[in-house]
Structure 1
């Protein structure tokens, strides 16, 4: 079923009826089309991050998921018709297994990583930044593959605090996993 035009606001119940072939997000009841095919560089960086987290989390209770993976923010204890925010972050790390179901994550992941593309900068840096902050995501990374950098924001008393920008020369600590340190030269390496 195509997205109806007569409504301005939608819910997760509406979202479930739409074509599965389209990558859509729902923020405050408004529909956002996801970018078409992502760049090779975007995919390479996403693969390296996913691999690093997957290996680290093998023996932990947390899991890493990559898009497309529906995250129903602020959806705990709500009916589908009352959920207005459904996103597909590039990477989601979920430690509370109670939030996971066959449809994805119902609630805020512990950590979200978005890999920036030219068409997603405003969405990831502003709209999703505020949404993830409001939802209670503990750690939010913005990865810029064109500038080989990762910007880190940590939730403190309900507000994201800027923790720094890290580049290929750095090793970055993952705050929700104090014993995980990532060599950014490996994550951000240029591949042919």
Structure 2
């Protein structure tokens, strides 16, 4: 294993990705490597943990499974390592087709993805680059969670495009479209735990 060196104009695949070992986390989008944000803030982790807990509790004993980062999602038409040019590590991933899960993560399109925003370029990547990627590969439901402004943007796939954006704020309760009886209480998501 070696630290990666990148050259402009070269499209990198999952096969290349498997050779990198520089103790950093990488994603590849359309063959272009992206160094992931530094370690997330405590606020990011608390909010992500709260969302994970709601899904984990609800999905116990059901066919869908929820996974928390780091968890690799490989998006490709062929499924072959050398032809997979999109590898992402969403903050939270829900997969209902167990055949897509292997020892390395998810090989195929998940049903629902949640990204929790971090400050800086990572937020732009979640809102633009990953938004377009998840739409193109047919993720049914995409959430962008803003832990600082305490809101959630929800996008549902309609005829191959993410349809009307729904925005929910702290105090709101909304149903997850994939599971009509799973209600998300944003007071629980954005609740701050005290050490007292």
Shifted more, 115-124 versus 89-98: the winner is 115-124
Runs in 1 of length 4+ with deviation above 4 angstroms? Answer: none
Say what the alpha-carbon RMSD is for the aligned residues.
1.2
Instruction: Give the deviation of 1:20 after TM superposition.
Output: 6.5
Distance 2:6 2:180 in 1: 47
Stretches of structure 1 lacking an aligned partner (at least 5 in a row): none
- Give yes or no for contact 1:100–1:106 (8 Å, CA) kept in 2: yes
Give the 5 Å matches for 1:3-14.
3-6=4-7, 8-14=10-16
- 2:49 pairs with 1:47: yes
Instruction: Give the deviation of 1:161 after TM superposition.
Output: 1.0
Instruction: Give the deviation of 1:172 after TM superposition.
Output: 1.5
- Partner in structure 2 of residue 106 of structure 1: 107
SS at structure 2 position matched to 1:109? coil
Count of aligned residue pairs for this structure pair: 191
Instruction: Give the deviation of 1:74 after TM superposition.
Output: 2.4
- Partner in structure 2 of residue 68 of structure 1: 70
- Partner in structure 1 of residue 179 of structure 2: 177
Distance 1:152 1:79 in 2: 31
How big is each residue's C-alpha offset from its partner over 1:60-99, in whole Å with a ceiling of 9 and x where there is no partner?
1111111111100125x43211100000000000000010
Distance 1:179 1:153 in 2: 18
SS at structure 1 position matched to 2:76? coil
- Partner in structure 1 of residue 94 of structure 2: 93
- Give yes or no for contact 2:75–2:109 (8 Å, CA) kept in 1: yes
Instruction: Give the deviation of 1:171 after TM superposition.
Output: 0.3
- Partner in structure 1 of residue 123 of structure 2: 121
- 2:160 pairs with 1:134: no
TM-score, normalised by the number of residues in structure 1: 0.96
Distance 1:78 1:57, change over 3 A: same
- Give yes or no for contact 1:168–1:189 (8 Å, CA) kept in 2: no
